[in-house]
């Protein structure tokens, strides 16, 4: 998710502070100018970015052993996966490409609608094309992704979109504690 921002419609989260100075976003007919760079970065953020923690990538904190389902997986099975420690189950296709995610919220929503989880499939309730990151994503960018999207965890995919792990807020905290010597 990192790299130089060369066009004004590039997603803000894909930009590293040293690579962009001015970004314009057209929204509802109003121009919003976003300026950022070394001169505008707070000392706290700069110190965090320079810390051992700030240098970590998702690959160093993610869970590599992740249970996944397919579109035809029974929702009751996904619920049992969640009882084993994951609050969301990534949904993949036959090539292991990420196609969706089912969360505890999705299961509870189905139950609230009076559905029996044995009669519901992942494809019925999943969020298609979920937010995901790569193992090369910086942990500070991951923090922004989680915070800005109000997420607890996101799937980790390779360059072809194949599921290779999952990373949660607690993994970030673990990474911080390990790099701070606590």
| pLDDT tens per residue, range 117-142 | 999 999 999 999 999 999 999 999 99
From CA 63, how far away is CA 174, in angstroms rounded? 12
DSSP line for 23-51: EEEEETTEEEEEE-STTTS-HHHHHHHHS
From CA 99, how far away is CA 126, in angstroms rounded? 9
**91: nearest Cα among 18, 172, 157:** 157
CATH architecture, domain 58-180: Roll (3.10)
| pLDDT tens per residue, range 165-177 | 999 999 999 999 9
Q: What is the pLDDT of residue 182?
A: 52
Strands 98-103 and 30-35: unpaired
| pLDDT tens per residue, range 60-96 | 999 999 999 999 999 999 999 999 877 899 999 999 9
Every domain of the chain with CATH number 3.10.580.10 lies at 58-180
**pTM for this predicted structure:** 0.74
User: SS3 string of 111-169?
Assistant: HHCCCCHHHCEHHHHCEECCCCEECCCEHHHHHHHHHHCCCCEEEEECCCCEEEEEEEH
Q: What is the pLDDT of residue 101?
A: 98
Determine the distance from the C-alpha atom of residue 171 to the mean position of all C-alpha atoms in its chain, rounded to a whole number. 12
Confidence tier at 22 by pLDDT (50, 70, 90): very low
Mean pLDDT of the chain: 81
Q: What is the pLDDT of residue 42?
A: 73
At residue 13, the 3 state secondary structure works out as helix
Please list the alpha-helical segments (H only) found in the chain: 43-50, 58-61, 75-82, 104-112, 122-125, 139-148, 169-180
From CA 26, how far away is CA 108, in angstroms rounded? 37
Length reported for the chain: 182
């Amino acid at each position: 998710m990192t790299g130089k921002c060369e066009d004004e419609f590039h997603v803000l989260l894909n930009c590293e502070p040293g690579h962009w100075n001015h970004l314009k976003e057209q929204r509802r007919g109003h121009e919003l100018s976003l300026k950022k760079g070394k001169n505008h970065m707070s000392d706290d953020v700069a110190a965090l970015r320079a810390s051992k923690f700030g240098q970590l990538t998702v690959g160093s904190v993610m869970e590599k052993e992740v249970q996944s389902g397919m579109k035809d997986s029974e929702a009751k099975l996904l619920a049992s996966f969640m009882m084993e420690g994951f609050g969301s189950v990534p949904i993949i296709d036959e090539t292991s490409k990420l196609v969706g995610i089912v969360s505890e919220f999705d299961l509870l929503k189905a139950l609230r609608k009076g559905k029996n989880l044995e009669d519901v499939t992942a494809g019925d309730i999943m969020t298609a094309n979920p937010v995901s990151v790569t193992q090369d994503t910086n942990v500070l960018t991951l923090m922004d992704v989680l915070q800005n999207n109000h997420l607890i965890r996101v799937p980790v995919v390779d360059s072809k979109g194949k599921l290779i792990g999952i990373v949660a807020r607690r993994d970030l905290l673990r990474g911080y504690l390990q790099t701070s010597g606590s």
